[in-house]
């Protein structure tokens, strides 16, 4: 028995811990710190605000990992409830824990990952959670964590420099998903309702655009493109798009900055 344990010990020592998350962009952030010491299971490759119909086997597979990492999105709260029913010992890790959030209609705005400085706090939450799961590799996690912080700081400075040269600093948006990026980089947002403009609204629109020097309308992954075209077609504002759930974090932040 003792010899068997000696043979198994190296395998246990170097086995990867499994964790669960919802989307690839979250897995990408977690992997920045976990690197090759963890294996990440994702629920879906694309965002949906509707619960995916998972089989019993799929549910168990996702629930029986060391932790469920999430940003406490409404849909993730539903998955958390589902997984905890399957495994009441599952550790649910809110990556936005202890981060002061913006409010939208009295509710927390969860889209903090478009702010590279708030992502420093996200990184800390991930690092702390991974060390609890796998204390043996804590020093390696620390190195990865500190490297990630440096990358975030560099990203912030590059974006700040790019936006300082931009003539676009007042924009239209249709929802709250761009608020953190806008606040961090001092971009003024003007919220518009998701509807096609009527003829009587065109003249007031021109006055509003001229008064506030609005240069662009930003839409999440072109999902509100018809409303954006209604604004753009009746004015000279540019249509810009961004992908809130783009998998590659720094590519996404850089791409958003290039829209300015």
pLDDT at position 141: 98
Q: What is the largest CA-CA distance in the chain?
A: 84
Residue pLDDT tens, the chain, 260 long: 555 444 444 544 456 899 999 999 999 999 999 999 999 999 999 999 999 999 999 999 999 999 999 999 999 999 999 999 999 999 999 999 999 999 999 999 999 999 999 999 999 999 999 999 999 999 999 999 999 999 999 999 999 999 999 999 999 999 999 999 999 999 999 999 998 988 898 898 999 999 999 999 999 987 889 999 998 888 889 999 999 999 999 999 999 999 99
Say if 20 falls within a structural domain: yes
Place of tokens 């959030």: 101
- Same domain as 151, residue 197: no
Which residues, listed in sequence order, are joined to residue 91 by a DSSP beta bridge?
Answer: 67
- Same domain as 233, residue 200: yes
Say if 145 falls within a structural domain: yes
Q: Tell me which of 160, 191, 211 is where a domain ends.
A: 160
C-alpha 77/C-alpha 166 separation (Å) is 38
- Say how many C-beta atoms besides its own lie within 10 A of residue 109's C-beta: 15
- Say how many C-beta atoms besides its own lie within 10 A of residue 173's C-beta: 23
- Same domain as 222, residue 144: no
Q: What is the pTM of this model?
A: 0.90
Q: What is the DSSP string of the chain?
A: -HHHHHHHHHHHHTPPEEEEESSHHHHHHHHHHHGGGEEEEES-SS--SS-----HHHHHHHHSSSEEEE---HHHHHHHHHHHHH-TT-EEEETTTTPPPPEETTEE---GGG-TTHHHHHHHHHHHHHHHH-GGGHHHHHHHHHHHHHHHHHHHHHHHHHHHT-S--EEEESSSTTHHHHHHTT-EEEE--SSPPPGGGHHHHHHHHHHHT--EEEEETTTTHHHHHHHHHTSSPEEEEE-TT-S-HHHHHHHHHHT-
- Same domain as 188, residue 94: no
* Domain housing 142: 13-160
Of 251, 229, 63, the residue nearest 54 (C-alpha): 63
- Same domain as 172, residue 156: no
C-alpha 140/C-alpha 188 separation (Å) is 40
C-alpha 130/C-alpha 136 separation (Å) is 10
- Same domain as 123, residue 31: yes
- Same domain as 142, residue 123: yes
**Number of domains present in the structure of the chain:** 2
């Amino acid at each position: 028995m003792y010899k068997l344990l000696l043979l198994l010990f190296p395998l246990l020592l170097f086995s990867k811990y499994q964790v669960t998350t919802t989307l690839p962009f979250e897995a990408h952030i977690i992997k920045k710190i976990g690197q090759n010491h963890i294996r990440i299971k994702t629920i879906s490759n694309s965002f949906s605000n509707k619960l995916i119909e998972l089989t019993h086997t799929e549910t168990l597979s996702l629930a029986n990992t060391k932790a469920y990492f999430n940003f406490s999105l409404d849909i993730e709260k539903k998955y958390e409830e589902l997984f905890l029913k399957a495994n009441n010992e599952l550790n649910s890790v809110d990556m936005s824990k202890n981060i002061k959030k913006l409010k939208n209609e009295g509710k927390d705005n969860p889209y903090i990952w478009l702010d590279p400085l708030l992502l420093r706090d996200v990184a800390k939450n991930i690092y702390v959670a991974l060390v609890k799961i796998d204390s043996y590799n804590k020093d390696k996690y620390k190195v990865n964590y500190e490297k990630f912080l440096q990358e975030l700081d560099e990203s912030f400075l590059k974006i700040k420099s790019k936006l300082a040269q931009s003539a676009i600093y007042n924009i239209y948006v249709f929802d709250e998903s761009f608020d953190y990026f806008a606040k961090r980089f001092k971009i003024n947002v003007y919220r518009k309702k998701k509807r096609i403009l009527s003829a009587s609204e065109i003249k007031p629109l021109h006055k509003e655009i001229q008064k506030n020097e609005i240069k662009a309308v930003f839409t999440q992954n072109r999902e509100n493109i018809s409303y954006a075209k209604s604004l753009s077609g009746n004015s000279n504002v540019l249509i810009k798009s961004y992908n809130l759930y783009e998998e590659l974090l720094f590519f996404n932040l850089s791409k958003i900055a290039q829209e300015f």
